[in-house]
Amino acid sequence: MSPFDGLLDQLEQNKTLPDPEMAFLICSDQPDLAESLFTRARRVASQHFGRRIFPRGLIEFTNYCRNDCYYCGIRRSNRRAERYRLTKDEILSCCDQGHRLGFRTFVLQGGEDPFYSTTFLSDLVRSIKGNYPDCAVTLSIGEKEFEEYRRLREAGADRYLLRHETADAFHYRELHPAVQTAANRLRCLNDLKTLGFQVGSGFMVGSPGQTTACLLKDLHLLKELEPQMIGIGPFIPHQDTPFADEKPGCVDRTLRLIAILRLMMPRALIPATTALGTLDPQGREKGILAGANVVMPNLSPVDVRKKYALYDHKICTGEEAAECWQCLQTRLNGIGYELVVDRGDYNPA
Ligand code: 5AD
Ligand code: FES
């Protein structure tokens, strides 16, 4: 019995809480509250997924970006970023290696790079789906027009990751230049949903200017959007951005938010992110123990990894894909979980 059981029962049963109670869970740093929250989130995750963790093979295929988000190391204005692009053959060989290791989802992630036309990307998706009919293809390539999304979906892309970043329009303007709008981000998310993509959204925890009210809005937005995937991770400053001197987000708060999201959306696919593992050497394990059920190790060629630096000190930039698979399997086994060879699709009730 914990003094917080009433509150947590309410969250688990109603899948929501009134704002003041939710704010309390987000902000309280009482260790016994966090522990009860994590235990419960873990139990809910294991009811749906057992102790199975789904791996996604991340291929960071370009770090060119037309956007200028103030928090991001590959923003257009960062003249110090060393830019690279992978060819179709290079991307396919990452998939090849990934498939041999056991990955059954490939995530093609990149900056918003107009060099890759929708025709090129559609052809790439068709090739991957043709080579590996047992795999899911996830795109994470930013804001596009409905027609472009439609063609990518038609080419066989199954899923799309596009974090909403912040649900507060004022806060959105503190994080992005005026040409990048919260309204267009939401338009994109709705288009993706309409087209039948499994959609992933999410936000950074502790981004500059974020208040508790912003986080409450983030939770409301996610509840309304009902994405199949939810990615959250702590903000980490990058030295060559306007936010270089800002404080990083709080790991414990990120973990509480993972647990809250698990209780709000029991079947969601929630990664223990690389950013969490970057701020805390045990961050990904802690994420799993707070209710996450996905990990996203890198499949990009080792010689480009350091160049895909959204934030400073990113982990796993020197390891080969095989090393990360093994490393994660060992880490997960150590906490009683296992990495599985499975597409890990969203499974509606
Ligand atoms: N710290 C943490 N996460 C970041 N992202 C971008 N820059 C940073 C940073 N400095 C996140 C954004 C984006 C995702 C791909 O990475 O939320 O959507
Ligand atoms: Fe990459 Fe551990 S997961 S080295």
Question: How far is ligand 1, taken at its centre, from the CA of residue 269, in Å?
Answer: 18
Q: Give the residue ranges of the chain where pLDDT is below 70.
A: none
pLDDT tens digits for 173-225?
999 999 999 999 999 999 999 999 999 999 999 999 999 999 999 999 999 99
**112 CA to centre of ligand 1 in angstroms:** 14
Beta-strand relationship, 198-205 and 159-161: parallel
pLDDT at 3: 82
In which residue are the tokens 């394990």 written?
285
Output helix, strand, coil percentages for the chain, rounded to the nearest 5. Answer: 45, 15, 40
The pTM of this model reads 0.98
> For residue 243, which atom of ligand 1 is closest to its CA?
10
Cα 256-312-53 angle, rounded to 5 deg: 45
What pLDDT, on a 0 to 100 scale, did the predictor assign at position 103? Answer: 98
End-to-end CA distance of the chain: 29
Tell me which amino acid residue 337 is: Y
Q: Scanning the structure block, which residue is given the tokens 């996830």?
A: 138
Residue 165 phi, psi dihedral angles, 5° rounding: 70, -50
Is the shortest distance between the CB of 322 and ligand 2 below 6 Å? no
Segment 242-288, tens digit of pLDDT: 999 999 999 999 999 999 999 999 999 999 999 999 999 999 999 99
Q: Which of 96, 78, 99, 115 is nearest to 307 (CA)?
A: 78
C-beta separation of 255 from 244 below 8 A: no
Measure 177 CA to ligand 2 centroid, in angstroms.
34
